[in-house]
Amino acid sequence: MFAYIVRRVLYAIPILLGVNLLTFLLFFVVNTPEDMARMQLGAKRVTPEAIEKWKAERGYDRPLLWNAQAEGAGRATQTVFFQKSVRLFALDFGASEDKRDIAAEIGERMWPSLALAVPVFLVGLAVCVSFALLMAFFRATYLDLWGVVLCVAMMSVSTLFYIIGGQYLLSKLWHLVPISGYQGATDALRFLFLPVFIGVVAGIGASSRWYRTLFLEEMGRDYVRTARAKGLAERAVLFGHVLQNALIPILTGVVAVIPLLFMGSLLSESFFGIPGLGSYTIDAIQAQDFAVVRAMVFIGSVFYILGLILTDISYTLVDPRIRLQ
Amino acid sequence: MPVLLATDVLVWLLVAAAAAYGLHCRRHEHLAAPWARVFRSPAAIASTVVLAFYFGAGLLDSLHFRPQLPQKPDAGQKVYSVEVLSVLDWTLAHLRGRTEKTYSAPLAIRSFAREQVELPGGKIAREFPRLQFGGAHLAKEGHWASDVGWRVFKGLGFAAAILLAAAIGMRILRVRWPEVPWNAAVWALGGLLVLLVPALVLSGGYHVLGTDKVGNDVFYQALKSIRTSLVIGTVTTLVLLPLGIALGIMAGYFRGWVDDVIQYLYTTLNSIPGVLLIAASVLMMQVVIDRHPEWFATAAHRADAKLLVLCAILGLTSWTGLARLLRGETLKLSELEYIQAAHALGVRGSRVISRHILPNVAHIVIIAMVMDFSGLVLAEAVLSYVGVGVDPSTSSFGTMINSARMEMSREPVVWWALATAFGFMFVLVLAANLLADAVRDGFDPRVRMAGTPKAVAA
């Protein structure tokens, strides 16, 4: 097990290098540093000197991938790629275009993101599992049929509609909660209610339907027939046997998502004005701040790989038949 | 002068390919059987009717031309406008040309905003002025109710006539295909016609769904947006399918280092957050496009290139799911006896893939293609909201929502543009989802496919 985890972590290094190379290609080769300088400086102030100064300030004045003028190892290290991308491995994110330290910013913005993402995740999971269980319990009745219809309908509604509709109904019409914004401490509850509620509602359709399929699949198994043959009540079968076994694929599926909660949710954060990592990323995209986008892409892929490893470990924990080698 | 936009060509190629596939299926019993199963479901039939309306509008909007400008008789050469129009624009010319000054409510005859108006006596007052086009044919404002009522009545009459003809037609079809639930088709068609025909009749004199901030007719914009959604939902698969099929089957069939490389590729792509990857690529391509105005003859060509690039990027970033599914299936298949037998008989690898593996994973490809469609349509709206979607001049549901999202904070609320965009999108996605479910059940109820494309999940 330990050896497996070590191997997986080592395997992550080429993947992260690949991610870095890809973002690097997207940002620097399609768009040269000169273009970026022009974009950031604005059309008016562009002079050759200003561009050179901008590049030197940010360390973009080196060659991109290979420095032929440097000596020895410097040929690979004295390049924009090494300085900008490989440093991310040491969690050295550098500064954003407005000269703020990205690492500090991330540390600060992580909390609002988590305050939104964790409740959405937990409440959403509870609601979807309960709803799916309800449909599975009343399978092949009108309740089940209409439940599935509701799920498909809810899946077909754009997330944007949930957000805009929720803001309009709860905040503007009924004045229950503020429309957007964020404050720390106890006030956070008031601001977070609406985004959490909408996050949960937007996820119900797809997840409940998926969990229902898993429950029904589990109900077709032999041990369920045996339990019924023993004379167990339907309720005991469902909660005592099926629920436990069906939770395995649900939980292992969900484990992959947990690390990504740190990344925040792009849409709801920017809609509700929550100063988390998601809105940070969106703002960076819109301001074309490549340093920030690069850092967020890197962190995102680290968490994704972490999620994959956690999924594998969770399989061995819940199912002793699976051994990692 | 006809204009061939790149996406038009691809859309029509796809239509041709679909037609060819249909003919091919008809000749082969085993290919036709799953489709026959699909169309035994009432939901599938009903959603096919709805999708047919959307595809009809989208295809009409995919035939572009440049109208000839009026000219003096002695000028030898014909002069064409730089504006590119489609057949749909031409049919709905009465909607396209009539722009008001600003917002107006659905079916309104007066503007939504007050304006300085000069009264006959020379005095100046602030009031809601009459619209330039909406209800301009009415002599008196009091005639509004009776005129609207009469138009709705006329529309419903037309709808009933068409529906009657269609119902009789389906009676005849029932003789040929008795197992298809034609009633569902009639119901779906009835619902569509009852909404659509009166709307079209009303649109002759009013803005049925109001106008937006710059006075454009919302109904017309929604109809124009259909094409963008369809292009994104279909052309993307042109990029996605070859990549997903080729890499997935290669990884599963050849194993070894090929498998390692391909797995590395898709883990790397997957580990970049979807929206970020798409956003970064789109931004880069937009900069490239904006820097080379000389590549494009007209603004429509440029907007079209951006749409095409968006499709390509969506395809490049979302083939991984299909590839993983196909890899697993190929791994399973290549252990089976008949593939082993083919190997033992000395059949070459390429032939084993094309004769034995490809036909046996085709159902997964079809299911994935239909299931991706709705996810892509929803993704477009989100991407356009983030600002990395289609060109702002291209009408799409995303740009409609994006430009209308501040309107909910106005007093009174300007709800019609948002409601229209969401309504049109909901019907399209719902129909696509229902059809996708039926297709999945018809082809292989055991295939498990959870989740939506990455872009929406964010």
What total number of domains does chain A contain? 2
Taking the Cβ of residue A69 and every Cβ of chain B, the question of whether any pair is shorter than 8 Å is answered with no
Q: Specify which residues A95 forms β-bridges with.
A: A101
pLDDT at residue number A124: 92
Residues of chain A with Cβ-Cβ distance to B425 below 8 Å are 158
- A208 to chain B, any CB pair closer than 8 A? The answer is no
pLDDT at B452: 39
Burial B37-59 (b: 16+ CB within 10 A, else e): bbbbbbbbbbbbbbbebbbebbb
CATH number at residue A172: 1.10.3720.10
> Are the beta carbons of B7 and B231 closer than 8 angstroms?
yes
B contacts of A296 (beta carbons < 8 Å): 273, 276
pLDDT tens digits along A88-136: 777 777 777 777 788 888 888 888 888 888 999 999 999 999 999 899 8
Query: Is A157 in Cβ contact with B450 (below 8 Å)?
Result: no
pLDDT in tens, A200-243: 998 898 889 889 988 888 888 888 899 989 988 888 888 888 88
Provide, as residue numbers in chain B, all residues whose Cβ is less than 8 Å from the Cβ of A300.
271-273, 276
Give the residue from A34, A65, A90 where a domain finishes. A90
pLDDT of residue B457 exceeding 90, the answer is no
Note the pLDDT tens digit of each residue in B411-427.
Answer: 777 888 888 999 999 99
Task: Give residue B429's pLDDT.
Answer: 92
The DSSP bridge pattern shows strands B64-65 and B85-86 to be antiparallel
Of all residues in chain A, the one with the smallest CA distance to B434 is A152
**Are A144 and A245 within one domain?**
yes
**More confident call, A46 vs B96:** B96
CA nearest to A172 within chain B: B409
Q: Of A134, A300, A95, A116, give the one whose Cα is nearest residue A198.
A: A116
Q: Which of B268, B269, B458 sits opposite A267 (nearest CB)?
A: B458
Residue with tokens 């105005």: B293
pLDDT of residue B430: 92
- Residue range(s) defining the domain that contains residue A312: 102-318
CB contact set of A275 (below 8 Å; sequence gap of 6+): A109, A112, A182
- Closest residue to B408, CB basis, from A155, A164, A282: A164
CB B416 within 8 A of CB B423: no
Q: In sequence order, what are the residues at sequence separation of 6 or more whose Cβ sits closer than 8 angstroms to the Cβ of residue B86? A: B60, B61, B62, B63, B64, B65, B227
Residue A325 forms part of a structural domain: no
Confidence check: pLDDT of A302 > 80:
yes
- The predicted complex's ipTM stands at 0.83
Residue B262 pLDDT grade (very low, low, confident, very high; cuts 50, 70, 90): very high
Q: Do B408 and A286 touch (CB under 8 A)?
A: no
A121 and A28, same domain (yes or no): no
Question: pTM score, two decimals?
Answer: 0.88
Task: Please list, in sequence order, all residues whose beta carbon lies within 8 angstroms of the beta carbon of residue B82, skipping any fewer than 6 positions away.
Answer: B66, B298, B299
How far apart (Å, rounded) are the C-alpha atoms in residues B441 and A54?
A: 59
> Regarding predicted confidence, which is higher, B3 or A73?
B3
Return residues 359-388 of B near A (CB < 8 Å): 374, 378, 381-382, 385-388
What pLDDT score does A74 carry? 65
Going by pLDDT thresholds of 50, 70 and 90, the confidence category of residue A70 is: low
Dist. CA A106–CA A124, nearest whole Å: 25
Residue B455 has pLDDT above 60, yes or no: no
Domain-embedded: residue A6: no
Q: What confidence score (pLDDT) does residue A126 get?
A: 93
Does the pLDDT at position B309 exceed 80? yes
Residue written as token pair 């023993």: A230
Most B CBs within 10 A among A28, A149, A161, A309, hence the mutation to make, goes to A161
Biggest CA-to-CA distance, chain B: 100
Q: Is residue A245 part of a domain?
A: yes
Residue A43, in any domain of the structure = yes
Same domain, A115 and A187: yes
Nearest C-alpha in A relative to B382: A160
Chain A residue whose CA is closest to B421: A161
Residue A186, domain member (yes or no): yes
Structural domain contains residue A153: yes
B380 alpha carbon, distance to own chain's centre: 10
- Find out whether B277 and B317 touch, Cβ atoms under 8 Å: yes
CA-nearest residue of chain B to A278?
Answer: B458
Among left, alpha and beta (phi > 0; psi -120 to 50; other), residue B99 is: beta
Reported as type and span, the H/E element at residue B2 is strand B2-3
Tokens representing A95?
């500064």
Instruction: Mark yes or no for CB contact B382/A213 under 8 Å.
Output: no
B81: how many CB neighbours lie within 10 A of its CB? 14
Query: Positive or negative CA dihedral for A190, B384, B319, A290?
Result: negative
Residues A186 and A64 in one domain: no
Both A206 and A297 in one domain: the answer is yes
| Total residue length of chain A | 325
| pLDDT tens string B116-166 | 777 777 777 777 777 777 777 777 777 778 888 888 898 899 889 999 998
Q: Is B287 on the interface with A (CB under 8 A)?
A: yes
| Cross-chain Cβ contact B276/A297 below 8 Å | yes
pLDDT tens for A139-184 read 888 998 899 999 999 988 888 888 888 888 887 778 777 777 777 7
A2: left (phi over 0), alpha (psi -120 to 50) or beta: alpha
Contact B430 A153 (CB under 8 A): yes
pLDDT at A265: 79
Residues in chain A closer than 8 A to B291 (CB atoms): 35
Is B451 close to A206, i.e. CB distance below 8 A? yes
B454 pLDDT tier (thresholds 50, 70, 90):
very low
* The token pair that represents A253 in the structure block: 């599926």
**How far is A78 from chain B, CA to nearest CA, in Å?**
25
Chain A's closest residue to B446, CA to CA, is: A217
Question: Is A9 within a domain?
Answer: no
Residues A154 and A300 in one domain: yes
Q: Quote the mean pLDDT of chain B.
A: 84
Nearest C-alpha of chain A: how many angstroms from B421?
A: 10
pLDDT per residue over B23-45, tens digit each? 998 888 888 888 888 888 888 99
For residue B230, pLDDT over 60 is answered with yes
Answer whether B262 touches A (CB < 8 Å): no
Q: Identify the pLDDT of residue A77.
A: 67
Which among A303, A279, A268 has a CA at the least distance from the CA of A109? A279
Say yes or no: B405 contacts chain A, CB-CB below 8 A: yes
The pLDDT tens digits for B376-390 are: 888 888 888 777 788
pLDDT of A76: 66
> Do the Cβ atoms of A206 and B381 come within 8 Å?
no
Question: Is A253 close to B458, i.e. CB distance below 8 A?
Answer: no
User: How far does A94 lie from chain B, in Å, by closest CA?
Assistant: 19
A180 touches chain B (CB under 8 A): no
Segment 429-458 of chain B within 8 Å of chain A by CB: 429-430, 432-434, 437, 448, 450-452, 456, 458
Q: How many CB pairs under 8 A join A and B?
A: 131
Note the pLDDT tens digit of each residue in A11-54: 888 888 888 888 877 776 666 667 767 766 766 667 777 777 77
From CA B111, how far away is CA A44, in angstroms rounded?
40
Residues B324 and B247: their CA atoms lie apart, in Å, by: 9
Among A90, A111, A139, give the residue marking a domain's end.
A90
User: Averaged over B57-85, what is the pLDDT?
Assistant: 78
Residues A168 and A297 in one domain: yes
Closest approach of chain A CAs to the CA of B272, in angstroms?
5
Q: Do A102 and A292 meet the contact criterion of CB atoms below 8 Å apart?
A: yes
In this structure, the answer to whether residues A64 and A185 fall within a common structural domain is no
Are B304 and B227 within 8 A, CB to CB? no
With H, G, I as helix, E, B as strand and everything else as coil, classify residue B86: strand
Do A70 and A151 belong to one domain? no
Task: Determine, yes or no, domain membership for A229.
Answer: yes
Which 8-state DSSP code applies to residue B49? H
Q: How far apart are CA A260 and CA B81, in angstroms?
A: 51
**pLDDT value, residue B453:** 39
Residue where one domain finishes, among candidates A90, A124, A144: A90
Is there a single domain that holds both residue A80 and residue A113? no
What's chain B's Rg over C-alpha atoms?
26
Q: Is the pLDDT of residue B449 over 80?
A: no
Residues A231 and A117 in one domain: yes
**A306 and A169 within one domain:** yes
Are B287 and A31 inside 8 Å of each other by CB?
yes
